[in-house]
């Protein structure tokens, strides 16, 4: 066991505590990654606030990048010294969903209470989202990491682990957008901006961003939105339809976990369109819609977890787009912080103005 620093949640809603924890060596099929960057996702904040329950104490954080510093027996996909992106997608490769190309829906459970980390005195410490990335090092399954070029900045690379693949993947994999179709993206935060990028890359005709903030709508245009609509308008879907030339959208990507956004989402749709549900409301929150309209117009609603990605296929593609200058990553970073500043970074993220705040290690 080795001692590392981590940000630990002991009580939902309380500030995280920077403390020493113990990390065991990687076992069969596992890799140890010394992290250089971990981004703060709204899912981390929601978990730490108790939105979805879970075991405590816990180490959150799941958008990470770093260097492989040790490997366990049977690891062949990466080697010591490799630069990697670390994701929360832990896929067994054997269950029905994995075998059918849907690793984000792996049916094999993972018990984070018995993972590679413990408290400094050997007590139980939950490795949240199979990652525990708010720490100097992680031990994860080899299928959770993807090797990348060493010259890609780790702060930019960390964003690919969740926010980028979720947003881009929701458009490309879940909505299966075709060139020339129209898209509405509700929410112009970190995931929303990536959904907008995904729509641009996929060849959307028009891309309408919907948000409560005029500043975010202006930012959305920098990432590829052709129009912006304030969600505070009494009937924002009417404005979106005007922007689309009097018709509804082929796809509506909901990237925020707000019930009003889900209630309104079908109103933006055109005939045969579908809502892609990405944002995660708190457990128990309920949305309403009028099913007869969906049935009469052949519309649909479907959930998308982590952009329905296959990380070994999709992350290299997205990295290549970044290297070509076609996928914005550096522009997504709002601030860079030290681990000791994580509570400040979380507060800044919670305030709603940040695209992505990133914790850098070894600074």
166: part of which helix (H) or strand (E)?
A: helix 165-169
Question: 306 and 165 in contact (C-beta within 8 Å)?
Answer: yes
Q: What is the mean pLDDT of each run of 10 residues along the chain (363 residues)?
A: 97 97 97 98 92 94 97 96 97 93 94 96 96 98 97 97 97 97 96 97 98 95 97 96 97 96 97 96 92 95 96 96 97 96 95 88 79
What's the pLDDT tens digit per position in 80-138?
Answer: 999 999 999 999 999 999 999 999 999 999 999 999 999 999 999 999 999 999 999 99
Predicted confidence (pLDDT) per residue in 277-294, tens digit? 999 999 899 999 899 999
**C-alpha dist (Å) from residue 79 to 26, 71, 183:** 13, 7, 41
The pLDDT, as a whole number, for residue 363 is 63
Residue pLDDT, tens place only, 177-186: 999 999 999 9
Non-local (6+) Cβ contacts of 154 within 8 A are 36, 37, 65, 66, 83
Q: By percentage, how much of the chain surpasses pLDDT 70?
A: 100
Structurally, at CATH architecture level, domain 2-151+329-360 sits in: Alpha-Beta Complex (3.90)
Task: State the pLDDT at residue 362.
Answer: 79
Tokens, residue 64: 């990470």
Find the distance separating the first CA and the last CA of the chain, reported in whole Å: 24
167-305 is classed CATH 3.30.750.210: no
Spatial distance between the Cα atoms of 275 and 265, rounded to a whole number of angstroms: 7
pLDDT tens track for 169-179: 999 999 999 99
pLDDT for 326 equals 96
- Give the predicted TM-score (pTM) of the model: 0.94
Assess contact for 112 and 127: CB atoms under 8 A: yes
**Cis-peptide into 3, omega within 30 deg:** no
For the chain, domain boundaries: 2-151+329-360, 167-305
Residues 6+ apart with CB under 8 A from 284: none
CB-based burial, 221-255: b 16+ in 10 Å, e otherwise: eebbbbbbbebeeeebbebbbebbeeebbbbbbbb
Which of 92, 96, 88, 94 has the alpha carbon at shortest distance from 112?
88
Q: What is the pLDDT of residue 15?
A: 97
């Amino acid at each position: 066991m080795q001692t590392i620093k981590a940000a630990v949640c002991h009580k939902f809603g309380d500030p995280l505590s920077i403390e020493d924890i113990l990390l065991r060596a990687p076992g069969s099929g596992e890799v140890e990654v010394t992290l250089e960057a971990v981004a703060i996702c709204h899912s981390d904040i929601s978990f730490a606030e108790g939105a979805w329950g879970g075991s405590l104490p816990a180490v959150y954080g799941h958008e990470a990048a770093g260097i492989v510093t040790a490997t366990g027996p049977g690891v062949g996909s990466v080697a010591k010294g490799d630069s990697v992106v670390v994701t929360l997608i832990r896929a067994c490769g054997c269950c029905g969903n994995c075998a059918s190309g849907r690793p984000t829906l792996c049916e094999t459970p993972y018990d984070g209470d018995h993972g590679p980390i413990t408290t400094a005195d050997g007590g139980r410490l939950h490795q949240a989202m199979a990652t525990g990335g708010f720490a100097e090092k992680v031990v994860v399954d080899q299928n959770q990491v993807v090797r990348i070029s060493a010259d890609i900045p780790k702060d930019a690379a960390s964003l690919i682990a969740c926010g980028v693949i979720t947003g881009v993947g929701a458009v490309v994999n879940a909505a299966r957008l075709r060139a020339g179709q129209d898209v509405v993206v509700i929410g112009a935060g970190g995931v929303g901006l990536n959904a907008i990028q995904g729509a641009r890359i996929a060849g959307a005709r028009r891309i309408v961003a919907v948000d409560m903030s005029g500043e975010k709508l202006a930012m959305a245009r920098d990432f590829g939105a052709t129009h912006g609509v304030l969600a505070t308008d009494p009937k924002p879907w009417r404005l979106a339809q005007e922007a689309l030339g009097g018709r509804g959208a082929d796809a509506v990507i909901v990237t925020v976990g707000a019930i009003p956004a889900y209630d309104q989402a079908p109103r933006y749709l055109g005939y045969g369109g579908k809502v892609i549900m990405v944002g995660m409301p708190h457990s128990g929150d309920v949305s309403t819609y009028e099913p007869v309209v969906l049935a009469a117009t052949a519309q649909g609603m479907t959930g998308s977890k982590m952009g329905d990605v296959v990380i070994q296929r999709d992350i290299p593609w997205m990295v290549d787009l970044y290297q070509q200058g076609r996928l914005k990553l550096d522009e997504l970073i709002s601030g860079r912080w030290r681990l000791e500043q994580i509570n400040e970074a979380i507060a800044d993220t919670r305030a709603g103005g940040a695209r992505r705040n990133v914790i850098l290690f070894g600074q």
